[in-house]
Amino acid sequence: MHDSRLVGRERAVSALDDLIAGLARGNGATAGISGAAGTGRTVLLSRVLGAGSALASCVPDGIPFGAVTQLAAALLPPAEFGELVGVCLEDRDGAAGRLCDTFAALAGERALVLAVDDLQWADEWSLRWFAEMTGRVGELPVLLVATTYEPLARGHRIPLAPLPPVEMATLVRQVLGELPPSVEAAVLDVARGRPAVLRELAERWAVAGRRA
């Protein structure tokens, strides 16, 4: 594993790789990548994306079916997608089952990865679908993966704690190079074990350097 963004995440990467290998054998599963903001949940989620995958990015806007329809839009022809959305809006109580049936039908053609980033921000109706889909993936070649602040109630749990100082120091040197000890200590104090915060600092400094 040479991606500097995944330093210290070997166990999490191995867990995801095992699930991907299982999917290739036709085994479905649900997995939750949990951790505080900045711990690298989204970077790890990107590892499962590829052919036959769809990604939904959640924001707290409350739009009905906002998350799950992102997945459907990535996998269905426009006409079928439009019809599905209309049916779901007309029959919200039955929408979760209808959406699950749609993904099950797609999984009959090829294995699917359904990825949801920041599930904690998903709307009520998408959360209902996620719960029902979790109960069905064991029968389907579908890998359902979400990032969230708290561990999922069901499925494989892949927690991401802040990285310890030694691994963060390694990451600092990979991203920023050798720094004076006092500067490195200050960077570590700001990042507090969160790789995404470190990368954001590096990007901001790079922009500032180009403007100078």
SS (H, E, C) the chain: CCCHHHCCCHHHHHHHHHHHHHHHCCCCEEEEEECCCCCCHHHHHHHHCCCCEEEEECCCCCCCCHHHHHHHHHHCCHHHHHHHHHHHHHCCCCHHHHHHHHHHHHHCCCCEEEEEECHHHCCHHHHHHHHHHHCCHHHCCEEEEEEECCCCCCCEEEECCCCCHHHHHHHHHHHHCCCCHHHHHHHHHHHCCCHHHHHHHHHHHHHHHHHC
> What number is the average pLDDT over the span 36-61?
90
What is the arithmetic mean of pLDDT over 154-174?
A: 89
Instruction: Pick the range with the lowest mean pLDDT from 52-56, 69-73, 92-96, 182-186.
Output: 182-186
- Report the C-alpha gap between 50 and 184 in whole angstroms: 36
Q: What is the pLDDT of residue 2?
A: 56
- Between 8 and 70, name the one with better pLDDT: 70
Confidence of residue 70 (pLDDT cuts 50, 70, 90): very high
Q: What is the pLDDT of residue 55?
A: 95
**Token pair of 108 as six digits:** 């009959």
209 vs 71 pLDDT, higher one: 71
pTM of the model: 0.85
Query: How far lies 165's CA from each of 8, 168, 171, 195, 197, in Å?
Result: 11, 5, 10, 11, 14
Question: CA 120, CA 179: separation in Å to the nearest integer?
Answer: 37
With bands split at pLDDT 50, 70 and 90, how would you rate the model's confidence at 1?
very low
* Average of per-residue pLDDT across 39-56: 89
Position 52 confidence tier, pLDDT thresholds 50, 70, 90: confident
